[in-house]
């Protein structure tokens, strides 16, 4: 932690240099009713060692996945990350040049992004991917705007199975664009097909969906294409693609996703790595940028920014998005982890995740009051409890188990979700973790 204390003389010199009499003058343009009227109760100044000790004691109050068994999911997953991932991304060649503003001297970064794009295209089953987005939610929002540009339509259908955070980000980014957004209460394929018409730009679904359910959207894609609409499939748990039919094979036109599960820790909610891939015919409507391979004047292999449709590179009215950077280091961590796994390792990791979830679901069957609402799942599913899930999770946390994510916390306005709990299992979940989860939940419900 940086600790840069200033003395009164230091402050007076700075005020004198910029030509103001006191600090209050710096805030003269702030409306008076927005200013704090009372003094802030802060402790007196401390030495650097004292501050470090104090902050460390605060941090120790956190109940982290490194200490307690964790069944957290709902778009943010705890996976093992090889030590070599962190070592490599901290090399100076990558750490100081993760954004290739000068492509000619950022060849290593560009090649890494090229490999990242290739990996994303392969695992999503699409023809082209861009050089990373911010996270899954903003990538999905960009996919929706991209679909509107392609179809020149303004009707958007959001499945009930789409993560509520993704839903809200799409609405926020679209609020000034006069789009018609239908957050439907249905999620199954047949019901979704009936909502599509000639005005539909796209329909957004998630697989596995927010509640962990797995579906094949091939029929939905066929219906979309009959009406000239696009199918967007969002993937929040990228490791699922090591076991499930990929979106490309289902007929998706655009795939958005969250790559956090590979190479990136939970880290209290971020940073993440967004994924976006599509069909080659839609290439020029992709947001962000695309790294490509070429040869220089000497015939040597080189790397360039093949497509840069960002506001920094072209006129604002021609830009496809206002994406101003990329999750470069997160994308690099993703690529290194996936490269270390290889194709067979990626598939095996997915199988282990699925088996862990099966083991957890079977153990939960011993609890008569708990209902598993999923008919299908990959590595997470939703439970219906006899009591409000939020209170149960808090009680279990006090007993040393991070039990999962109460649906009510993510959809606060929905009364029907009060007793629903999303739980996830990964390769990190041990048999003793599962036993402790079941024992703790039984005690909490009694």
Q: pLDDT tens track of the chain, all 446 residues? A: 455 667 889 989 999 999 998 888 888 899 988 988 888 887 777 888 988 898 999 988 888 888 899 999 999 999 999 999 999 999 887 887 666 667 777 888 889 999 999 999 999 999 999 987 899 999 999 999 999 999 999 999 999 999 999 999 999 999 888 899 988 776 788 889 999 999 999 999 999 999 999 999 999 999 999 999 999 999 999 999 999 999 999 999 999 999 999 999 998 888 899 999 999 999 989 988 889 999 988 999 999 888 776 555 555 666 677 676 668 889 999 999 999 999 999 999 999 999 999 999 999 999 999 999 999 999 999 999 999 999 999 999 999 999 999 999 999 887 789 999 999 999 999 999 999 999 999 999 98
Q: Are 257 and 104 in contact (CB under 8 A)?
A: no
Q: What is the pLDDT of residues 380-404, one digit of tens each?
A: 999 999 999 999 999 999 999 999 9
**Sequence-distant (≥ 6) Cβ neighbours of residue 297 within 8 angstroms:** none
Question: pLDDT tens across 162-218, in order?
Answer: 999 999 999 999 988 889 998 877 678 888 999 999 999 999 999 999 999 999 999
Please tell me the distance from the alpha carbon of residue 252 to that of residue 247, in angstroms, as a whole number.
5
The CATH label, of 3.40.640.10, 3.90.1300.10, 3.30.70.270, 3.40.50.1370, for the domain at 83-338 is 3.40.640.10
Question: Of 377, 351, 357, 347, which is closest to residue 123 (Cα–Cα)?
Answer: 347
Tens-digit pLDDT profile for residues 204-224 = 999 999 999 999 999 999 999
Helical H segments across 318-388, by residue range = 328-364
* pLDDT on residue 310: 57
> What's the predicted TM-score (pTM) here?
0.88
Count other C-beta atoms under 10 Å from residue 267's C-beta.
Answer: 10
Q: Which of 373, 367, 378, 379 is nearest to 420 (CA)?
A: 373
Question: How far is it, in rounded angstroms, from Cα 192 to Cα 422?
Answer: 24
What pLDDT score was predicted for residue 98?
Answer: 62
The residue ranges of DSSP E strands in 338-437, in sequence order, are 371-372, 380-384, 405-406, 420-424
Round to whole Å and give the CA distance between 232 and 252: 6
Mapping DSSP to helix (H, G, I), strand (E, B) and coil, where does residue 85 land? helix
* Start and end residues for every CATH 3.90.1150.10 domain found in the chain: 342-445
Chain-centroid distance of CA 171 in Å reads 17
The CA-based angle 191-197-198, given to 5 degrees, is 165
Both tokens of 300, joined, read 């040597």
First and final C-alpha spacing in the chain = 45
Report the run of H or E that residue 291 belongs to, with start and end. strand 289-295
The secondary structure of residue 422, as a DSSP letter, is E
Q: Which two tokens stand for residue 79?
A: 């996976």
**Cα distance between residue 385 and residue 73, in whole Å:** 17
- Strand 380-384 and strand 405-406: the pairing is unpaired
The sign of the dihedral angle between the CA atoms of 183, 185, 190, 195 is negative
CATH architecture type of domain 342-445: Alpha-Beta Complex (3.90)
3-state secondary structure of 306: strand
Which of 132, 351, 159, 81 shows the shortest CA–CA distance to 256?
132
> In what helix (H) or strand (E) does residue 218 lie, and over which residues does it extend?
helix 218-226
DSSP 407: H
| Intervals of CATH 3.40.640.10 along the chain | 83-338
**Lookup result for tokens 């955070």:** 165
CB atoms within 10 A of CB 188: 13
Q: Which helix (H) or strand (E) holds 277?
A: strand 274-278
CA 40 to chain centre: 36
Separation of alpha carbons 37 and 58, rounded Å: 28
User: Based on C-alpha coordinates, what's the Rg of the chain?
Assistant: 24
């Amino acid at each position: 932690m940086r600790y840069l204390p200033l003395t009164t003389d230091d402050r007076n010199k700075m005020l004198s240099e910029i030509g103001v009499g006191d600090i209050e003058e710096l805030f003269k343009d702030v409306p008076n009713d927005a200013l704090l009227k009372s003094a802030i109760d802060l402790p007196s100044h401390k030495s650097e060692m004292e501050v470090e000790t104090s902050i460390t004691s605060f941090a120790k109050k956190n109940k982290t996945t490194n200490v307690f068994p964790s069944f957290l999911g709902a778009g943010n997953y705890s996976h093992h990350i090889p030590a070599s991932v962190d070592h490599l991304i901290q090399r100076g060649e990558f750490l100081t040049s993760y954004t290739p503003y000068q492509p000619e001297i950022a060849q290593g970064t560009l090649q890494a992004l090229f490999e990242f794009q290739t990996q994303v295209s392969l695992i999503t089953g699409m023809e082209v991917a861009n050089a990373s987005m911010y996270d899954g939610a903003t990538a999905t929002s960009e996919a929706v705007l991209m679909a509107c540009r392609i179809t020149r339509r303004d009707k958007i259908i959001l499945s009930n199975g789409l993560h509520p955070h993704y839903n809200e980000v799409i609405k926020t980014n679209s609020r000034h664009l006069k789009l018609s957004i239908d957050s439907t209460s249905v999620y199954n394929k047949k019901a979704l097909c009936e909502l599509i018409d000639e005005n539909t730009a796209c329909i957004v679904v998630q697989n596995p969906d927010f509640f962990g359910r797995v579906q094949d959207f091939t029929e939905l894609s066929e219906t979309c294409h009959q009406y000239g609409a696009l199918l967007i499939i969002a993937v929040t748990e990228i490791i699922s693609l090591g076991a499930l039919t990929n979106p490309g094979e289902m007929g998706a036109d655009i795939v958005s996703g969250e790559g956090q599960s590979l190479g990136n820790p939970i880290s209290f909610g971020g940073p993440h790595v967004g994924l976006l891939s599509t069909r080659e015919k839609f290439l020029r409507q992709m947001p962000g940028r695309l790294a490509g391979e070429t040869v220089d004047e000497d015939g040597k292999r080189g790397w360039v920014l093949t497509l840069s449709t960002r506001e920094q590179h072209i006129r604002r009215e021609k830009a496809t998005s206002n994406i101003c950077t990329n999750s470069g280091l997160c994308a690099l961590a993703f690529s290194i982890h996936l490269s270390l796994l290889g194709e067979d390792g990626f598939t095996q990791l997915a199988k282990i995740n699925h088996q862990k979830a099966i083991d957890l679901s079977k153990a939960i069957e011993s609890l008569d009051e708990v209902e598993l609402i999923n008919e299908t799942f990959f590595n997470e599913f939703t439970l219906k409890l006899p009591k409000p899930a939020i209170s149960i999770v808090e009680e279990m946390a006090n007993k040393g188990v991070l039990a999962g994510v109460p649906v009510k916390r993510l959809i606060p306005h929905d009364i029907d979700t009060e007793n629903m709990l999303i739980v996830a299992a990964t390769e990190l979940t041990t048999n003793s973790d599962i036993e402790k989860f079941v024992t703790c939940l039984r005690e909490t419900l009694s």
